Amino acid sequence: MNTMASSLTVSMYKLDLWFPKTIKRTSSSIPFNNQTRHVPFQFLISNTASRFSLPNCKFSISNSLVDNCLVHGDAHKSTPPIEVKTSTWNWRDYSIRYQYSGSSGPALLLVHGFGANSDHWRKNIGVLAEGHRVYSIDLIGYGYSDKPNPRELGLNSLYTFETWASQLNDFCTDVVKDQAFFICNSIGGVVGLQAAVMKPEICRGIFLLNISLRMLHIKKQPWYGRPLIKSFQSLLRNTGVGKFFYKAVATPDSVKNILCQCYNDTSQVTDELVDIILRPGLEPGAADVFLEFICYSGGPLPEELLPQVKCPVLVAWGEKDPWEPIDLGRAYAEFDSVEDFVVLPNVGHCPQDEAPHLVNPLVASFVARHAARSASLSPAAF
**Model confidence band, residue 67 (pLDDT cutoffs 50, 70, 90):** low
Q: What is the pLDDT of residue 225?
A: 78
pLDDT above 80 (res 58):
no
pLDDT digits (tens, 9 = 90+) for 117-149: 999 999 999 999 999 999 999 999 999 999 999
**The residue type at 93:** D
Return phi, psi of residue 155, to 5°: -105, 145
Q: How do residues 154-189 score in pLDDT, each as one tens digit?
A: 777 899 999 999 999 999 999 999 999 999 999 999
pLDDT of residue 222: 84
Pairwise CA distance, residues 70 & 74, whole Å: 9
- Per-residue pLDDT tens digits for 325-339: 999 999 999 999 999
Strand pairing report for 27-30 and 8-11: antiparallel
Per-residue pLDDT, 319:
97
d(CA 236, CA 231): 9
Could you write out the three-class secondary structure of the chain?
Answer: CCCCCCCEEEECCCHHHCCCCCCCCCEEEECCCCCCCCCCCCCCCCCCCCCCCCCCCCCCHHHHHHHHHHHHCCHHHHCCCCCCEEEEEEECCEEEEEEEECCCCCEEEEECCCCCCHHHHCCCHHHHCCCCEEEEECCCCCCCCCCCCCCCCCCCCCCCHHHHHHHHHHHHHHHHCCCEEEEEECHHHHHHHHHHHHCCCCEEEEEEECCCCCCCCHHHCCCCCHHHHHHHHHHHHHCHHHHHHHHHHCCHHHHHHHHHHHCCCHHHCCHHHHHHHHHHHCCCCHHHHHHHHHCCCCCCCHHHHHHHCCCCEEEEEECCCCCCCHHHHHHHHHCCCEEEEEEECCCCCCHHHHCHHHHHHHHHHHHHHHHCCCCCCCHHHC
Residue 33 has pLDDT above 80, yes or no: no
What is the pLDDT at residue 223?
80
- What is the Cα–Cα distance from 183 to 208, expressed in whole angstroms? 6
Task: Tell whether the model's pLDDT for residue 380 goes beyond 60.
Answer: no
Count CB-CB contacts under 10 A for residue 2: 9
Q: What is the pLDDT of residues 72-85, one digit of tens each?
A: 454 445 567 789 99
Question: What percent of the chain is predicted at pLDDT more than 90?
Answer: 62
CA-CA distances (angstroms) from residue 221 to 23, 36, 68, 214, 363? 19, 9, 42, 11, 35
Q: What is the pLDDT of residue 227?
A: 84
Select the more confidently predicted residue: 42 or 230.
230
Q: How confident is the model at residue 378 (pLDDT cuts 50, 70, 90)?
A: very low
CA distances (Å), 45 to each of 11, 28, 95, 252, in order?
10, 10, 43, 29
15/43 Cα distance (integer angstroms): 10
Mean pLDDT for the stretch of residues 202-229 = 88
Per-residue pLDDT tens over the stretch 280-289: 999 999 999 9
pLDDT at site 382: 59
Among candidates 65, 21, 9, which has minimal Cα distance to 258?
21
* CA gap 223, 201 in Å, rounded: 38
Query: Rounded mean pLDDT of 52-67?
Result: 46
Q: Residue 10: what pLDDT? A: 28
| pLDDT: which is higher, 65 or 207 | 207
Which range, of 66-70, 99-103, 256-260, averages the lowest pLDDT? 66-70
Say if residue 9's pLDDT is above 70: no
Q: pLDDT at position 332, please? A: 96
| pLDDT value of position 232 | 81
Query: With bands split at pLDDT 50, 70 and 90, how would you rate the model's confidence at 69?
Result: low
pLDDT for 156 equals 74
Q: Give the Å distances, CA to CA, from 187 to 45, 201, 217, 229, 324.
A: 25, 22, 13, 20, 11
CA angle 222, 113, 359 (to 5 degrees): 120
Please report which confidence band the pLDDT of residue 381 belongs to, taking 50, 70 and 90 as the band edges: low
pLDDT of 226-271, one tens digit each? 888 888 888 888 888 889 999 999 999 999 999 999 999 999 999 9
**pLDDT of 45 over the 50 cut:** no
Task: Check pLDDT > 70 for residue 221.
Answer: yes
Average confidence score pLDDT of the chain = 81
